[in-house]
């Protein structure tokens, strides 16, 4: 039988001989859904094109950065102009401060900002900074929240670790793991009990603003506010990870939709925030920011060291400035509407096929959790208990119909400002068959 993806298969075979698993980030290997990963060669607007020339409506959007759609003209123009000036100088550039000013305008909790290159580097630096500022060692994180592959934060992480069903990672020492307290998400009682026992030694609590790496999980009413109050009471810091949600779920990220909203009933403010993905517009850029007195503990003004040869890379800064400049409030309103339309269509198709499920939301991000209609998903245990076996046939049916979903049930779905009616109709047309495939799946 002739393969319908010969070029993708050949590329994957070659990649596996050259790289671990044939990939440079585990979820790309299709480990949880099976089959041959697609090797993408181009992207435009809401579409991807693979090595075999097949076009897909993209619902991954580079895991968030393609907020405006792929190859947005203004972003490309800014990047091309930056490339013409030089790729990297090893010195400061004007756009570093320009991007920092945009972030500060959108997120007033950011009084100072430090540019880095990856989300992992941002969270790693935030944790080191919290320890340096407080003089304490312990960090609280929540099961299912993913903060990059920092040793001390891989315990009970989501993202690829959830996909691969790994409890942590080899190579993380017991001593490092012992400095992290892992608690169930959405459980303030557990947080209070941890502080009652370990309070004087806890440097910080780190949490995703809204988890999106065990599937999307909505923070319970008052959960993030409660974390802010508890950490402040005990002299610890609250680190809010917006690497995924920042400038994706709204103009000011998820904090801007909740604690930082002008009309918030119970406003709260984190001490530190981390950003990535959208902030670089598709280029490898991330950042951490927050209270001036805490951030000024970073070198060269303070004793906590952090450096990076490519931090604030001029091409990446240009992409970030262009992306955030064109990501207007109208863009977010458009994506919000599209997200509601699509999530409703997915739910209706699954209902028609008799597939038990719930839709989990965080702003305009959402995910599907199979077999969870009774109680939804509120923590990592709920996410792991779902009927995940239904996702692979659902995924492959959509893929064959020309719709590229996240290749793991433990990931969020992403839309962009480029998802026009034509793109949306292609998704809608593919849903009934995918829902039937999920219904027929056997665990």
Question: Is 241 marked active-site?
Answer: yes
Per annotation, catalytic residue among 47, 141, 277, 382: 277
Question: Is 192 marked active-site?
Answer: no
| Residue that has been written with the tokens 């947005």 in this structure | 72
Q: Measure Cα distances from 74 to 68, 80, 86, 299, 319 in Å.
A: 10, 10, 19, 35, 9
Long-range CB pairs of 419-427 (<8 Å, 24+ gap) are 419/46, 419/57, 419/69, 419/335, 419/338, 420/45, 420/46, 423/45, 423/46, 423/47, 423/57, 424/338, 424/341, 424/342, 426/57, 426/401, 426/402, 427/57, 427/59, 427/342, 427/345, 427/398, 427/403
**What count of other Cβ atoms lies within 10 Å of the Cβ of residue 435?**
25
* Residue 123 near residue 153 (C-beta atoms within 8 A): yes
Question: Is 146 marked active-site?
Answer: yes
Per annotation, catalytic residue among 146, 380, 391, 404: 146
- The helix (run of H) or strand (run of E) holding residue 128 is helix 119-134
**What count of other Cβ atoms lies within 10 Å of the Cβ of residue 261?**
13
Per annotation, catalytic residue among 241, 254, 271, 404: 241
Q: Token pair of 23, please?
A: 């990939």
Catalytic residues: 146, 241, 277
């Amino acid at each position: 039988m002739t393969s319908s993806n010969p070029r993708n298969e050949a590329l994957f075979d070659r990649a596996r001989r050259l790289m671990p698993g044939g990939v440079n980030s585990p979820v790309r290997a299709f480990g949880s859904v099976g089959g041959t990963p697609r090797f993408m060669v181009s992207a435009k607007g809401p579409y991807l094109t693979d090595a075999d020339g097949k076009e897909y409506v993209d619902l991954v959007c580079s895991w968030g950065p393609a907020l405006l759609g792929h190859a947005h003209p203004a972003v490309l123009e800014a990047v091309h102009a930056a490339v013409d000036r030089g790729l990297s100088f090893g010195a400061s550039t004007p756009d570093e401060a320009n991007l920092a000013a945009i972030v500060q305008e959108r997120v007033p909790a950011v009084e100072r900002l430090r540019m880095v290159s990856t989300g992992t580097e941002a969270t790693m630096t935030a944790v080191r900074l919290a320890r340096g500022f407080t003089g304490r060692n312990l960090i609280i994180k929540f099961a299912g929240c993913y903060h990059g592959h920092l040793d001390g934060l891989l315990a009970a992480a989501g993202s690829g670790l959830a996909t691969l069903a790994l409890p942590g990672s080899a190579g993380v020492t017991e001593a490092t793991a012992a400095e992290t307290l892992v608690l169930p998400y959405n459980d303030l009682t557990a947080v209070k009990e941890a502080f009652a026992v370990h309070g004087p030694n806890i440097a910080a609590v780190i949490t995703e603003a809204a988890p999106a790496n065990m599937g999307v999980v909505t923070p319970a009413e008052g959960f993030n506010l409660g974390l802010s109050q508890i950490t402040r009471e005990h002299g610890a810091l609250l680190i809010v990870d917006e690497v995924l949600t920042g400038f994706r779920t709204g103009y000011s990220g998820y904090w801007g939709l909740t604690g930082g909203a002008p009309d918030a009933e119970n406003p709260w403010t984190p001490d530190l925030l981390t950003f990535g993905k959208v902030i670089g517009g598709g280029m490898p850029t991330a950042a951490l920011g927050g209270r001036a007195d805490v951030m000024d503990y970073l070198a060269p003004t303070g004793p906590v060291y952090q450096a990076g040869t490519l931090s604030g890379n001029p091409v990446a800064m240009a992409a970030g400035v262009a992306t955030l400049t064109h990501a207007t409030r109208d863009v977010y309103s458009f994506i919000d509407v599209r997200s509601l339309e699509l999530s409703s269509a997915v739910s209706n198709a699954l209902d028609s096929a008799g597939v038990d499920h719930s839709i989990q939301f965080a702003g305009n991000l959402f995910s599907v959790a199979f077999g969870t209609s009774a109680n939804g998903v509120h923590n990592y245990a709920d996410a792991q208990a779902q009927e995940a076996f239904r996702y692979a046939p659902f995924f492959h049916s959509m893929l064959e119909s020309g719709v590229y979903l996240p290749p793991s049930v433990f990931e969020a779905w992403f839309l962009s400002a480029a998802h026009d009616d034509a793109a949306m109709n292609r998704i809608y047309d593919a849903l009934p068959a995918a829902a039937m495939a999920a219904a027929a799946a056997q665990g």
